Structure 1
Amino acid sequence: MNLNKLFTILLFFYLPTIFAQSNIIFVKPNATGSGKSWSDATGNLRAALLNAAFGTEIWVSQGIYTPTKCTICNASERQKSFEIPNGVAVFGGFLGTETQRDQRNWRANRTFLSGDIDADGRATSNSYHVIYTQNVGDKMILDGFTVSGGNADSSTTPGERYSSGGAWYNDGRSGQIGSPTVRNCAFTRNFAIAFAGALYNNGGFNGYCYATFENCQFVNNFSRKEGGAIFNSGVFGGICNPTFTFCEFSGNRTEGSGGAIFNDAQKGRCEPIFTNCQFIKNEIVAERYGGAIYNLGKGGKCSPTITGCLFWANKAFSAAAVYCLGSEQGVSSPQITNCIFYKNEANTGGSVYANAGEADVTGASTGESKPVISNSIFWANKALTTRHLRNINGEPTLSFCIVDTTSCAALHGGKGVGVNCGSGMIYNQNPLFVDADNGDFNLLPTSPARDKGSNFLAKNLTLDLAAEPRIINDSIDIGAFEFNPK
């Protein structure tokens, strides 16, 4: 074989690799190179992001990264964040030797984005936001990171930059978009003096937010106002409909409403989709509402879709799990399917609260709150008033549910037409979880929940909360876990 032909063959095989690597920036802690390879990696992740073009991938080796470093950190230093441009994909979890992205192990090679810019272990001088994005679509990817130590404690207007979204301020307001793709990330120990200890999705004022989160954790975040972990804003003509799949929200707290999440649709739309998510031990630490989720449909539409989720041991003054307010001609009517509500606790409303606003002079409510709940289990929730469904002029509808009351009428507390119960209701029969108090909500073989749900009402649900096939026999089970005899 002549040399020219051999060179052509080699070029054919190696050119794709060379071309692909030319669109990759390599980052290692404390490295000083150009970022063109692992052996010539850069250590400045923030600069790499600022210089990245649409279509660039950034591969980040295990370690801890901060947006800047300072000893005495003034406001200017604290305003620096990892600013991820539109169309840039950032992957953590590399050891620092890989040649293919799928060789990384993000679980073993932990990669941290930290707001502790002065490395003193205290939050006082930390970054206001660890991450900031503006006008990004779904080609902006963050995958394989732990984001912690954000401290949005500025005295700016609540909801503005520096006061909200300690881990990440995702800015899609005023005609922009805020729709990143986020996978395999954890957001933990972040703070906001106003909204969203961890993540503020701002699609307000004619903006758009269709962010997607898959296999992410939001743990031990705190806010002084609304949304212990997340605040989703679609206010005043905006649309904020993020999607969360196989995500966990645990140990988040707020002094406002929405222990884990606050969805705000004042004169706009905010209709997130939660599929196979867990809400565990989130808490309101003041006399407020929605231990896990608060849905505000004041003059707008706030009707999330909540499917295959677990609500366990959340606490609030009112509505330990989910609070729905549709007022001033607004709507808050979530669809809740194949969920478990277990040992949530409140003063009023141990699980779901439907509030359509107070009646006007004609006697009609000023809004609408009609949650539709099916294939779900309500068990051992606690409240001084109304253990399960608190209702103020709302109209919750249940079908194919297991509840620990003697009748449909016993579910209702409050005022208005009460709770509507359809087909397939099971009253006062223990669902027989394997070991619920220790977190095992799988069904025992003799559970009355087996094969008693409605396939039609769960037609788009293919996996259960354990990522196992959703229907084993002909009929779906009630609750978030399908009985599997294997």
Structure 2
Amino acid sequence: MRTLFIAIASVLLAGMTIMSCEEKDDFVPTLLLDVQDAIQVSNRGGEFSIDVLSNLSWEANTTANWITLEESTGEKGKRALSFSVTENENDERSSTITVHSQEGTQAELTVVQESGLTLNIFVKEGAEGSGKSWEDPTNLSNALKLAITGSSIFIAEGHHTPMNIVSGGNSDDPRDRTFEVASNMTLIGGFPAQASSGATPDPDAYPTILSGELSDGNNSYHVVTISAPQSDEEQVVLRGLTISDGQADGSKSSATIQGRDFRREYGGGLIIGGSRVVLENCAVKNNTSDKYVAGVYVFDEAEVTILHSKLNNNASKSNGGGLWANNSTVFAYHSEFNENSGGTAPAVHAYPNAEIYLFNSEIRDNKGRSFGAAFYARADSKGALVNCLVTGNESTSSNGGGGVMMYDNCEMEIISTTITENTIKGPGGGVYRRKGENILSIYNSIISGNTQKEGTMNIDVYESDADPAKILASTSGEVVFDANGQIEEDAAFKAISMLGDDFTPIGDDNPALTYGMTPNHLKEIDYLFPESEKDWLDQDFHGHDRSGSTTMGATLPE
């Protein structure tokens, strides 16, 4: 609709420009709104705006006392019509905003506000009840249609497959079936199949699988689609769920939801467009893509928090495997990005203008065929690895970046992290920078024992005139840097003998045990991530207290 509006608007504006040169008899009154016939708004209310395009002045009105028009008149041309909606504490309601011009031309917009009667909905595999209790459960597809902002959906163990076509999707294409979360709500899995009143969730005992494997043998383009509006007060929470068996497409096509394109070739497991989302104790695994990222795709200023979750074993035929953030922000804690595969960035991808910050997490055993085998930041993106383990990642490409790859004006901080045993056919088996001004800061970290092209280094850069990386109290290959960034000439780090099987520094003469930084020193650094996240600097990968320790890397000795 918006594309059509722009096209018509261009013609109308052109007509308005030459109108004074035409005879009055040729004038055609025109009035357009830049939205579809109806819009859905949250029960929380809020402020909204649409564009009115007219070649005459206009007036707007509504009979609803819960809709307030900020503008009731407008001049010819393209003008904004802003309005506010009050909070709804009762049933769903709807009303109309009417815009009419001097010549009688008019357009209408229906505003539909969801019910304010908060619902708890109960789901069991294959159920067809009302969803009002465990004794009368419904299925998940129906529950998502019933849910409103603030709802909680409780889901019993089993395989749940989507039945509803995504908004803006193709009703003739079964692969457009998805679990669409269109409002800010909470979905909790892990309840027993025979759950009754008072049941508590245990996802390990009662696996709750949202599967894209459809009954007709097809697979959904996206198992879960999150299109909920972004709000400072609400968010979508997914807890105790496994998301698997999605298959993103290989062709360029989209389902358009509220003016936002959800592309079918991205995010076989989960696609998030512009929403605030928390993934807690979830697994996104065994999803595929015929083109781009198979696991989780986050785009259009979405804000995502990942807690105690696993984005593992996802496979793409092209770029991206586990997580891809596009113009969005992701924070992940105590999570895994393991055993994914793809071309460029098979594990974690920040591109473009994205921010990804990982704490106490691991990126392990991912396999790629191009740039960046583990964490790839590209095109004005930012990232941080704090108390993280990056190991066993491989790429068959000569482009470089076995552990971390930075490309085209990015900024990266690596703090109390171990990057080792990664393999790349190109340079920089640990970290590689290429193209533009890529700002790299490394603190209290071990970046050693990686395999790269002969004659290149664990930490390397493409441009000969690039600014040097800031490396404090860390190792780069065998070289040891002190807290001032000076090379310790009398110290050498040997990854093969100085890292134990769990990648903890070992040995009496190990410089990684003595040249590291204390948490107090670490907290004096200027960080990319918020001040509130500094508490992570007090612990190691396992959550052990770093106080008094001068050990580099992700893990402290017992």
Which category describes the TM-score, using the shorter chain as reference length? Answer: 0.7 to 0.9
CA offset at residue 181 of structure 1? 0.9
Query: Which residue matches 2:330?
Result: 242
Query: Which residue matches 2:249?
Result: 153
Query: Which residue matches 1:480?
Result: 554
Are the counterparts in 1 of residues 480 and 493 from structure 2 also a CA contact under 8 Å?
no
Are the counterparts in 1 of residues 191 and 206 from structure 2 also a CA contact under 8 Å?
yes
- Listed as ranges, the matches of 1:198-237 within 5 Å are 198-203=295-300, 208-234=301-327
- Listed as ranges, the matches of 1:256-267 within 5 Å are 257-265=344-352
Give the Cα separation in 1 of the matches to 2:437 and 2:355: 15
Are the counterparts in 1 of residues 248 and 292 from structure 2 also a CA contact under 8 Å?
no
Give the Cα separation in 2 of the matches to 1:310 and 1:99: 42
CA offset at residue 249 of structure 1? 0.9
Q: 1:302 aligned to 2:381?
A: yes
Counterpart amino acid of residue 394 in structure 2: K
Superposed CA offset, 1:69-108 (max 9, x none): 99xx99521101001132210000011436457x321111
CA offset at residue 157 of structure 1? 5.1
Query: Which residue matches 2:131?
Result: 35
Q: 1:188 aligns with which of 282, 285, 296?
A: 285
Q: 1:464 aligns with which of 535, 540, 545?
A: 540
Are the counterparts in 2 of residues 476 and 482 from structure 1 also a CA contact under 8 Å?
no
Superposed CA offset, 1:336-360 (max 9, x none): 10111111001122110112x2xxx
Larger Rg: 2
Q: 1:449 aligns with which of 504, 512, 520?
A: 512
Q: 1:310 to 1:136 in 2, by over 3 A?
A: farther
Q: 1:337 aligned to 2:406?
A: no
Are the counterparts in 2 of residues 374 and 457 from structure 1 also a CA contact under 8 Å?
no
Q: 1:372 aligns with which of 429, 433, 441?
A: 441
Q: 1:86 aligned to 2:165?
A: no
- Listed as ranges, the matches of 1:266-277 within 5 Å are 269-277=353-361
Give the Cα separation in 2 of the matches to 1:430 and 1:31: 60
Counterpart amino acid of residue 381 in structure 2: C
Under a length normalisation based on structure 1, what TM-score does the superposition of the two structures give? 0.77
SS in 1 for 2:411: coil
Give the Cα separation in 2 of the matches to 1:314 and 1:262: 14
Q: 1:333 to 1:149 in 2, by over 3 A?
A: same
SS in 1 for 2:268: coil
Percent of aligned positions that are identical:
25
CA offset at residue 313 of structure 1? 1.0
SS in 2 for 1:142: strand
SS in 1 for 2:504: strand
Q: 1:476 to 1:424 in 2, by over 3 A?
A: farther
Are the counterparts in 2 of residues 28 and 60 from structure 1 also a CA contact under 8 Å?
yes
Q: 1:422 aligned to 2:506?
A: no
SS in 1 for 2:385: strand
Query: Which residue matches 1:392?
Result: 462
CA offset at residue 233 of structure 1? 0.6
Give the Cα separation in 2 of the matches to 1:75 and 1:213: 34
Are the counterparts in 1 of residues 500 and 506 from structure 2 also a CA contact under 8 Å?
no
Are the counterparts in 2 of residues 430 and 448 from structure 1 also a CA contact under 8 Å?
no
Query: Which residue matches 1:8?
Result: none
CA offset at residue 433 of structure 1? 5.9
CA offset at residue 31 of structure 1? 2.2
Under a length normalisation based on structure 2, what TM-score does the superposition of the two structures give? 0.67
Counterpart amino acid of residue 159 in structure 2: I
CA offset at residue 192 of structure 1? 1.6
SS in 1 for 2:513: coil
Give the Cα separation in 1 of the matches to 2:484 and 2:350: 27
SS in 1 for 2:276: coil
Query: Which residue matches 2:476?
Result: 403
Are the counterparts in 2 of residues 130 and 166 from structure 1 also a CA contact under 8 Å?
yes
Are the counterparts in 1 of residues 479 and 493 from structure 2 also a CA contact under 8 Å?
no
Give the Cα separation in 2 of the matches to 1:36 and 1:424: 67
Q: 1:407 to 1:198 in 2, by over 3 A?
A: closer
Q: 1:155 to 1:384 in 2, by over 3 A?
A: same
- Listed as ranges, the matches of 1:317-332 within 5 Å are 317=397, 318-326=400-408, 331-332=409-410
CA offset at residue 452 of structure 1? 3.4
Off by >6 Å, runs of 4+ in structure 1 = none
Counterpart amino acid of residue 338 in structure 2: S
Q: 1:97 aligned to 2:97?
A: no
Counterpart amino acid of residue 210 in structure 1: E
CA offset at residue 225 of structure 1? 2.3
Are the counterparts in 2 of residues 126 and 150 from structure 1 also a CA contact under 8 Å?
yes
Number of matched pairs: 403
Are the counterparts in 1 of residues 474 and 480 from structure 2 also a CA contact under 8 Å?
no
Q: 1:421 to 1:282 in 2, by over 3 A?
A: farther
CA offset at residue 52 of structure 1? 0.3
Q: 1:457 to 1:323 in 2, by over 3 A?
A: farther
SS in 2 for 1:90: strand
SS in 2 for 1:46: helix
Give the Cα separation in 2 of the matches to 1:425 and 1:79: 59
